[in-house]
Amino acid sequence: MSNHELAIAFVPPQQWNTVYDLPQAFKHGTLFPDLDKPFYITENQNDASEPKLFPGSESDPCQKMLEQISQVSFAADELRLYLDTHEHDTQALDMLRTVLKQKKALLSQFATEYYPLTFASMSDCGCEIDNCYCWSKGPSPWEGACC
């Protein structure tokens, strides 16, 4: 096999087209509909039967905000990956700026209303006023409780 090529891969460059809205992107696992290629499709798939990542987020404002933070964080990661190879794409840069502002505002609001999710948002939980160390003020999101 030393004189034979096993394969030559061709991957077409990704183009900026329409993007999913944030809840759809989070659900599909990609911001880009063109990259949404399911490995398998089930017959009679019903969205109502899908498990929810944040059960109760419709009625619990804390869970709803955690879901929004997860969605904007996911979108920021998707855009960062896209911009690694398309650094001059102004639409993607504008969307990244918007998403990062949303994420910063949501993290600050969450820290103010509940507890800090990141070490950087600890200053938003009133520690200067209360003279406290509020990093461990609430449960971690993976512990299954919100507030």
Q: Mention every residue, 6+ apart, whose C-beta is less than 8 A from residue 19.
A: 25, 31, 32, 33, 95
The pTM score is 0.75
What is the per-residue pLDDT for 136? 66
Is residue 15's pLDDT more than 60? yes
Nearest CA among 111, 122, 115 for reference residue 137: 115
63 contacts: CB under 8 Å, gap ≥ 6: 54, 55, 56, 57, 146
pLDDT band at residue 86 using 50, 70 and 90 as cut-offs: very high
Element (H, E) at 119: none
- Position 67 pLDDT exceeds 70: yes
